[in-house]
Amino acid sequence: MLLKKWIVNALILCGALGFGATATAQQGLRSQRPDFLIGFAAANDFWTLQDAQKFSEVAAREFNLITPENQMKWAIIHPESDVYQFAAADAHLAFARKNQMKVHGHVLVWHSQIPAWMLEKNWARNELIDAMYSHIDRVMGHFKNGVYMWDVVNEAFNEDGSMRPSFWQKNLGDSHLPLAFTRARLADSRAKLLYNDYNIETLNRKSDAVYKMVQAFRKNGVPIDAIGMQMHITSGGIDMTSFQQNMKRLANLGLDIYITEMDVRIPKNAQEAGLPDQAQVYAQVLKACLAQPACKGLQTWGMSDKYSWVSGFYKGFGSALLFDENYQPKPAYFAVEHVLKSTQ
């Protein structure tokens, strides 16, 4: 009797201290829903970090999808016109293969992280199309069968739905989008082709523009498989009804949806207090995704708050991911885990 009481008390104490929860974290998110893609963006050369072992261990335990955070971008992978550097991305793929993860390729055509040799050159239209084609052929060809899905074009629109005046837009106009997607399908017919952007989660002028682009693609036979919603948001959350409606209209066009770069930033002066709100936002977004059959995966843009782009980019914000700087699961982690478990 006494022993039984002691065990019950011990269990309650463990629960209160979060021991039980920590033990559950050891199982990993990926094991909760093997049918769902749960991923993260991997830091540059993560195998060389001073805590590489811990990084790799948590990554392998938790995730079944990996995106190289930077090391497939044009400036890194194709730094000179006749030089391709595949080694770092290859190491990501080797890690993925070893740990049965899918790979998300990021990114082929983007306004940022373009190498100087591209920006400095005066391009004739056909010459630039050829350069884009050979980049797509070479990069997608190199990773054929190893990359499950590709961000073909990233961030082509402004917030008001007009085209961003990017390097690509200035040189090739709107046509750079269908040209890139058509070529990508030829380069790797099995890879899923994504258009990826931020602030397109809810109904707004930018997501309207993406929707219209896909409608035009459908009409003209331009291939596209999915929309990537980056989901860089705050602990204030997003309009969930609008998010659901937006996913629905994209699903009705026959598209899949991936949440590709989620982070939920908290103001630096309210880090502790913001954790419950952050947990709720992660849970709501994941729940809505799981309730929409077209939504096939969710990735966070990083893993531990120790290596996150957020504090560098959004001044005064941080702590946006599922694991703290010591790789300990945060309330948001347990909220995500709970949603995955309870929707099985």
**Residue 68 or 146: which CB sits closer to ligand XIL?**
68
329: amino acid identity, one letter: P
Does 304 participate in binding ligand XIL (rule CB under 6 A)?
no
304 neighbors 58 (Cβ within 8 angstroms): yes
Residue nearest to ligand XIL (CB): 309
Rama region for 316: left / alpha / beta (φ>0; ψ in -120 to 50; rest): left
Instruction: Give helix then strand counts, H and E, for the chain.
Output: 14, 10
Does 230 participate in binding ligand XIL (rule CB under 6 A)?
yes
Q: What gap in Å lies between CA 100 and CA 97, rounded to an integer? A: 5
Question: CA angle, 286 as apex, 281 and 290 as ends, to 5°?
Answer: 150
Least Å distance, CB 323 to ligand XIL, is 16
**Residue 69 or 305: which CB sits closer to ligand XIL?**
69
Is 261 an annotated catalytic residue? yes
Selected binder of ligand XIL within 84, 123, 309, 314 (CB under 6 A): 309
Is 120 an annotated catalytic residue? no
At residue 123, the 3 state secondary structure works out as: coil
Site string for ligand XIL, 77-116 (x = CB under 6 A): ----------------------------------------
Provide the 8-state DSSP code for 330: P
At residue 41, the 3 state secondary structure works out as: strand
With CA atoms as reference, report the closest residue to 321 among 287, 289, 274. 274
**Residue 261 or 305: which CB sits closer to ligand XIL?**
261
Given 62, 69, 201, 261, the catalytic residue: 261
With CA atoms as reference, report the closest residue to 161 among 202, 205, 200. 205
Q: Which of residues 136-155 bind ligand XIL (CB under 6 A)?
A: 154
Residue keyed to tokens 């983007």:
110
Provide the 8-state DSSP code for 305: G
**Residue 70 or 299: which CB sits closer to ligand XIL?**
70
Least Å distance, CB 261 to ligand XIL, is 6
Q: Which helix (H) or strand (E) holds 265?
A: strand 256-267
Site string for ligand XIL, 34-73 (x = CB under 6 A): -----------------------------------xx---
CA distances from 55 to 17, 48, 51, 145, 308 (A): 25, 10, 6, 25, 13
Given 62, 69, 155, 201, the catalytic residue: 155
Least Å distance, CB 312 to ligand XIL, is 7
Least Å distance, CB 23 to ligand XIL, is 32
Least Å distance, CB 106 to ligand XIL, is 6
Binding site for ligand XIL (CB under 6 A): 69-70, 154, 230, 261, 309
Residues that are catalytic: 155, 261
